[in-house]
Structure 1
């Protein structure tokens, strides 16, 4: 059990076993998966070393982008909750002194946004 999962318990939508299968060839054997969330077709996975975002592209979802951000590269992050007219929660992760976010993810509700914010805060701060 990693540091983040120790804080949050077994939070997440997908199990470590399922996440590890989806990360075959990407994740190191020594890396521990702390949290894993499914976002429609995409995944955001927090390990003990980095954040991995899996982005399925195209109609079939066969083309896949694996975006890996080591925690030491994250300079700041922004969490936006849902509102009355804006029904999507949003997470933006910035690296170094970049003005634009390296990663922007949208969630259909606030259900996991606070767990993700806590995981990022724990890993980055």
Structure 2
């Protein structure tokens, strides 16, 4: 499992869902759809209509991958912070029952749309 106790787990930029779909498709359940995806250097995060999937690519070859599934129905609270003039990163904080706080940083993303996505599936 990804160590979410770090201050920041990923610094993410938008990517096309079709680029990462082959990697996560085997764990997608019937009726689940990829809504958006974001990529760091090797790792990535996928938002579906049911959960957040964080993928940690491991090893030198990148063949080993850790998939962490974070269902929206376990979110107790969330917070978004927009980017500023000097601080270009937007942040999403999620508090999960039984897991604690998960923080994701986004660059070049509409954090309000991500907040809307989380609200749509949790409220």
**Fold agreement, TM-score > 0.5:** yes
Q: Point out which structure has higher relative CO (alpha carbons under 8 A, 6+ apart).
A: 2
Structure-1-length-normalised TM-score: 0.69
Q: Which residue pairs with 2:106 in the alignment?
A: 107
Q: Which residue pairs with 1:8 in the alignment?
A: none
Q: Which residue pairs with 2:6 in the alignment?
A: none
- Structure 1: give runs of 5+ residues left out of the alignment: 1-11
Mapped pair 1:78 → 2:101: no
> In structure 2, how many angstroms separate the alpha carbons of the residues matched to 1:52 and 1:46?
6
| Counterpart mapping for 1:36-51 below 5 A | 36-51=37-52
Higher strand share: 2
Residue range with higher mean Cα deviation, 22-31 or 59-68: 59-68
**CA offsets per residue over residues 71-105 of structure 1, 9 Å max, x none?**
1101111111222332321111111276x41x221
Mapped pair 1:88 → 2:97: no
Give every structure 1 segment of 4 or more consecutive aligned residues whose post-TM-superposition deviation is greater than 6 Å. none
- Structure 2: give runs of 5+ residues left out of the alignment: 1-13
> In structure 1, how many angstroms separate the alpha carbons of the residues matched to 2:93 and 2:59?
22
> In structure 2, how many angstroms separate the alpha carbons of the residues matched to 1:114 and 1:60?
35
Residue range with higher mean Cα deviation, 58-67 or 114-123: 58-67
Give the count of matched residue pairs.
Answer: 110
**CA offsets per residue over residues 20-49 of structure 1, 9 Å max, x none?**
202143222432222223344332212222
> In structure 2, how many angstroms separate the alpha carbons of the residues matched to 1:105 and 1:57?
19
> In structure 1, how many angstroms separate the alpha carbons of the residues matched to 2:118 and 2:62?
27
